[in-house]
Structure 1
């Protein structure tokens, strides 16, 4: 193995040192592990003056380690004191890093003089994570505090990464503090310490964020009919794992051979194999763990699905005073009638024009998809209109369709109009009556919907 000797070179100067001056200047020696370091300690003295220097002492971090006048003091391992006062340290190790003071005791009339050197033993970095086991669990919303304590000479710089991406921090901090405001903050956090000596050191901490149940469903309103098979789904995410129960109203659903539950990963389903009219209603998917409870309401109904207007521009290119609408409605039970509402479009006014309401009978057709075409006559030229549709079967009226905006010949729909053609309608705006004679109640619900939509 090769070793290097690191020493302080003496630079000559045209200015002569006075008697009693140190020949070499104070210095900080940077050396890698296993190198040899030589720290000088000698004065510019009078020739042949043997009595000038009485003794030489060396201190490391204020602790005496060498004394030329004390033969009983043992030098530390790998330390040697030269006759000229220099201190040599073989194969330096990290523990040799520190401040070294050379003190020369002189004969009368001179007093002692001191000179300070320093050694920095360069060594590759290391990191110690906190928590030391590399795992931290917090509740959603709690403060997260993780850290990596670094060591090395020079002192390492710390960088942090999470999910493969470097965290953009304002400094190279050892400690990360933040609030676990989102469960997606969970994952592996890795710190890297680098100081240019050897390979960087890395440590990782796994953060687990526990949280109360979070629930979603693809459909909060499901159309069905007696005799059909239907499945109600909800997806539950929770840590710790949640217990899921199904309720109808506030009563737990009675499970038997006709009504069963299915669990596939985070998907929980209630399967009704043969729907009965008594199955209609609002079902609650309830999930509970030690941190809280979540609920999701899903309505099972026999009333029709919302109608959907179809594209008819090719049929209305020259329509000046009329416009043909085509729509489709999904219903397992025959449609009895439609209610078509239309009016001129005046933008988002506080008090828009009143609706014109048309009752349109259905035609005999087999379901579950019912199609209908209707031409509105007596319209104004170069005018933009909007329309919506509700449908009725034996179980009641549907929710309103998304609003359709259309124009007679000479008028155009601008981007603002087109961008709002499909209006998102809140679920369960209407209450559903099991009687076909509930027209008055249905009209009241439609009015409530329209007030919410335009006010």
Structure 2
């Protein structure tokens, strides 16, 4: 017949026997007191390894050695295993633990049960656990509105306690706006550029580093940039109007002309590629299709609108002349302008610039000496091309001077925007032959060492000649 006893009951029986033996030993005397030679120690073991915790009792006599874990679980009594765990065994009263698991960590005490002072030694078994890390929330998805304070957090475990580092995938952390507190990354005021995948890495020197990702989404209202706010086209031509739209959630984009929303038709179509939204107008009709169009973007965070004008006016003229000229009092200006319709006239404005002779100063610029001269120049109504080239000769200019000018062009739809300011120069007059002769005489006088009074007289005569020209 097999009789199974509860481990705690079995321990009580053993302890009763020990107490009786101890009383007997006390009655007849014991030559030496029991003791434990082993000193307390800290054992560090990784999961799966083996550890032997030493006790090494001496002068044991009839006393019994017991092992406890965390001063609660009785593991052994004498040579008997109390805890039913096949990984535990005794080697001369030393406790051996095989295939160590994380829950095996704790305080292990070997003590001798006596009726006097406690004789014991306690060891600390620390289980070395590789790091693991979990994002919060566990799915790694974090969404926040722009401008809010954000605390990204990852929970790291392991033994020793892991250290946590933060990086950003495909980019750098916004270092001027963040700080780390424990396992958290704090961004004080989130912006749309802070969106992306953040990586938290944990390491403690045991095994490989662990990592987790948090995908940070930043919600913000729509924003619109225009390729241009004015689109130049012509009758029976096409016009492409493009809005570059950003926002999160991705905005819905609609196009309007005035108060009327546009829809697909033979004359109107729409294209979208990532954040570029384009309205295509075909077979432009001057009386109906020229005007202001609106690009409107909307998401749950708000609405934004920008306007684009479709027109048939000429583009802003571009000067093709060189700034310098070999002429003294004239200058030949040349410019080009693009227009689908013939140019009816040009308006040219020019004036002389007053030079600045003071110290070098970036805030000082040449200024105009007088009013603008306004010249209306006829266009070429027979030119049905797109690029229109025009030249005009300005006369009556001053020698050795600097001028600035601008030009506009007009077709049947109106005036273009003014060109950029253009600067040109006239040359100083060439010296007369008589001037060259006087200079030659002066040089000869200097070389032949004529009296100084004669050299002065020649110089005065040369200056008088210049004034009388």
TM-score, with normalisation over the residues of structure 2?
0.68
Equivalent of residue 155 in structure 1, options 148, 152, 161 = 161
Q: Does 2:102 match 1:94? A: yes
Residues 184-203 of structure 1 aligned to structure 2 (within 5 Å): 184-203=193-212
Greater Cα shift, 170-179 or 304-313: 170-179
Q: Give the unaligned 5+ runs of structure 1.
A: 1-18, 411-455
Deviation of the 1:293 alpha carbon:
0.9
Aligned CA distance change for structure 1 residues 170 and 79 (closer, same or farther; 3 Å): farther
- Cα offsets for 1:67-112 (capped at 9, x unmatched): 648989536552345554x33222211222234445555554xx33
Secondary structure of the structure 1 residue equivalent to 2:103: helix
User: What does residue 312 of structure 1 align with?
Assistant: 322
Larger Rg: 2
Deviation of the 1:221 alpha carbon:
0.5
Q: Does 2:348 match 1:340? A: yes
Deviation of the 1:119 alpha carbon:
2.0
User: What does residue 282 of structure 1 align with?
Assistant: 292
Deviation of the 1:28 alpha carbon:
2.0
- Cα offsets for 1:135-170 (capped at 9, x unmatched): 233333344443322222233333334334575787
Equivalent of residue 375 in structure 2, options 359, 369, 380 = 359
Q: How many corresponding residue pairs?
A: 381
Greater Cα shift, 281-290 or 384-393: 384-393
Aligned CA distance change for structure 1 residues 159 and 378 (closer, same or farther; 3 Å): farther
Residues 18-417 of structure 1 aligned to structure 2 (within 5 Å): 23-42=37-56, 48=59, 50=61, 56-60=66-70, 62-66=71-75, 68=77, 74=83, 78-80=87-89, 84=93, 86-103=94-111, 108=116, 111-112=117-118, 115-164=121-170, 167=173, 174-178=183-187, 181-249=190-258, 251-253=259-261, 257=265, 259-265=267-273, 266-313=276-323, 316-319=324-327, 321-343=329-351, 344=353, 348=363, 352-353=367-368, 355-364=371-380, 366=383, 367-379=385-397, 384-409=402-427
Deviation of the 1:297 alpha carbon:
0.6
User: What does residue 422 of structure 1 align with?
Assistant: none
Q: Give the unaligned 5+ runs of structure 2.
A: 1-32, 357-361, 429-469
- How far apart, in 2, do the equivalents of 1:358 and 1:377 lie? 13
- How far apart, in 1, do the equivalents of 2:287 and 2:395 lie? 40
Does the 8 A contact of 1:180 with 1:209 survive in 2? no
- Cα offsets for 1:52-74 (capped at 9, x unmatched): x67545342x5344464898953
Does the 8 A contact of 1:139 with 1:180 survive in 2? no
Aligned CA distance change for structure 1 residues 126 and 253 (closer, same or farther; 3 Å): closer
User: What does residue 413 of structure 1 align with?
Assistant: none
Aligned CA distance change for structure 1 residues 224 and 128 (closer, same or farther; 3 Å): same
RMSD, matched Cα:
3.7
- How far apart, in 2, do the equivalents of 1:185 and 1:91 lie? 46
Secondary structure of the structure 2 residue equivalent to 1:277: helix
Deviation of the 1:352 alpha carbon:
4.6
Aligned CA distance change for structure 1 residues 34 and 220 (closer, same or farther; 3 Å): same
**Of Structure 1 and Structure 2, which has the larger fraction of its residues in helix?**
2
- How far apart, in 2, do the equivalents of 1:63 and 1:357 lie? 107
Does the 8 A contact of 1:144 with 1:180 survive in 2? yes
- How far apart, in 1, do the equivalents of 2:60 and 2:188 lie? 73
Aligned CA distance change for structure 1 residues 59 and 304 (closer, same or farther; 3 Å): same
Aligned CA distance change for structure 1 residues 138 and 113 (closer, same or farther; 3 Å): same
